[in-house]
Amino acid sequence: MMGMYALFVLASFYVANALNVSNMTYSEFKELQKTRVSPPTKPYTSSPNKTNSPPVVDWRYIMTPIKDQAQCGSCYAESSVATYEAMWTIHTGRKHNFSVQQAMDCSTTQGNEGCNGGWMHSVYDWIITNEGIELNSEDPYVAITANCTPSLNKTQIAFLDNWVYVKPTQKDIISWLPLQPVTVAVAADGCWQEYTSGIVTGKKCPSSLDPPELDHGVVVVGYDLTHKIPHFTVRNSWGTGWGEDGYIRIAINFTHDKGLFGIASQPTAPLIQ
């Protein structure tokens, strides 16, 4: 475990390097997007939800506070841990802020590379192998790649049974969301860098209709099918000063199979039995 002085120095570094993506050059901005995707390693899973999905779902009330990944390509860990935190709250009724830092540093055993990026599902694999994850208070986020900190307090770590690939369609994401938030990869382009509020549509952001490589991990926490522009609500990891208090709303576009920014290209969901 880090000494108190070391923690203070690293925490000061983290605060000083909080994100303001609007002030970055585009190349600097793209350096933050380090989520990786690869061909599925197991079959897609249909939603266990066998009822009609409600017209509105919004899980923001159970989410832990929005995180700021700072100058570190940890979005894959931020999004996976945030989705897992939500699933843990749904399953147990207890809200915990788990350690993104530990997930980032220790999932190198699953092929991830700390601030240099990684796979969201590899974070889930690490939580399963590790038989849980520490609280953020035990291993706080410092926005640099550090040595893996072993689980220190076994009475406080949680567990994960499995994770699945959600079928890669917007309709399947909608079917899963009444049960839990879903982790997704998107192509975060200049529209994300410039976003302040409102619903992003293909008309407002033409590049979203033909996205390049998926590179950013985020969490779909809900949808609204009653709005004149049906949309997803998505949690980001760039602090509360970005977007709508850290969230972005993205139009649901069924004419484009994978959705805007490729949002339905490779969704995943953690499972607790």
Residue range 246-266: average pLDDT?
A: 94
Residue range 94-118: average pLDDT?
A: 94
Which of the residues 96, 121, 216, 256 is marked catalytic?
216
What share of the chain in percent tops pLDDT 70? 89
170: part of which helix (H) or strand (E)? helix 170-176
Residue with tokens 């390509």: 73
Which of the residues 72, 75, 191, 205 is marked catalytic?
75
Q: What is the pLDDT of residue 207?
A: 83
Q: What is the pLDDT of residue 14?
A: 40
Q: Which residue has the higher pLDDT, 251 or 206?
A: 251
Which of the residues 130, 136, 236, 253 is marked catalytic?
236
Q: What is the pLDDT of residue 156?
A: 54
236 classed as catalytic = yes
**18 pLDDT tier (thresholds 50, 70, 90):** low
75 classed as catalytic = yes
> At residue 154, does pLDDT exceed 60?
no
Q: Which of helix, strand or coil describes residue 217?
A: strand
- DSSP calls for 227-265: SSS-EEEEE-SB-TTSTBTTEEEEE--TTSTT-GGGTTS
Rounded (5°) CA angle 219-222-225: 140
Distance, CA of 273 to CA of 266 (rounded, Å):
22
Reported as a single tens digit per residue, the pLDDT across 113-131 is 999 999 999 999 999 999 8
CB under 8 Å to 10, separation ≥6 — which residues? Answer: 2, 142, 144
> At residue 35, does pLDDT exceed 90?
no
**Window from 101-115, 146-160, 200-214, 237-251 with minimum mean pLDDT:** 146-160
- Average pLDDT in the chain: 88
Reported as a single tens digit per residue, the pLDDT across 221-241 is 999 999 999 999 999 999 999
